[in-house]
Amino acid sequence: MKIIRTKIKDLLILEPEIFTDDRGYFFESYNKGKLEALIGKEYNFVQDNESRSLYGVIRGLHYQLAPYSQAKLVRVFKGRVYDVALDLRKNSPTFGKWEGVELSGENNRQLLIPKGFAHGFSVLSETAVFAYKCDEYYHPEAETGIIYNDASIGIDWKVPEKDMKISERDRLLPELKNARMNFDYINISTGYINSVM
């Protein structure tokens, strides 16, 4: 597995080693021990989620408030998405900044999103099957988010506005300046096994 660091501390792209031959391919999509050895931090994923979406669908930006905040390991089984993570950690040098990466069934990349981030994605292919691991269970009372088109953030979702498909619930999410959040960069960024981050 190869680790690709983004411009936001702790937000990592994971690229598996893929073995191919005339029968097809094989790769290890998750190995707790190897991941923790590479990044120097422990994760205890407890829930897997999966969705299927059509072209132009935008889901997000979603997150859960502490103490139920979630780290996520996201990937795409089929199709292509533009995956986005927004830093909401108070006192983080990249607070309010976002990073986007294309994930697909072809590149098999994954994005490791720590606690303290809002997350969303747009679908770039006809359909996409998207899946992710969480290190905290879903708690509806802690769920919240930020509207996808907040001008102060300026996310380019890689989909023309006329093709965007957004749920009514996501259209009602607040802008960043009015969003509820309770993440502390110092507390969230501690707990590493070593100082590789």
Question: What domains sit in the chain, N to C, each tagged with a CATH number?
Answer: 45-189 (2.60.120.10)
Choice among 63, 82, 119, 132 that is catalytic: 132
The answer to whether 81 and 111 have CB atoms below 8 angstroms apart is: no
How far is it, in rounded angstroms, from Cα 151 to Cα 147? 10
What DSSP string describes 94-147?
Answer: TTT-EEEEEEETTT--EEEE-TTEEEEEEE-SSEEEEEEEESS---GGGEEE--
The whole-model pTM stands at 0.92
| One pLDDT digit (tens) per residue for the chain, 197 residues | 899 999 999 999 999 999 999 999 899 999 999 999 999 899 999 999 999 999 999 999 999 999 999 999 999 999 999 999 999 999 999 999 999 999 999 999 999 999 999 999 999 999 999 999 999 999 999 999 999 999 999 999 999 999 999 999 999 999 999 999 999 887 665 443 333 33
132 is catalytic: yes
Choice among 30, 43, 55, 62 that is catalytic: 62
Predicted pLDDT of residue 122? 98
Nearest 5°: the CA angle 112, 116, 120 is 60
The answer to whether 35 and 41 have CB atoms below 8 angstroms apart is: no
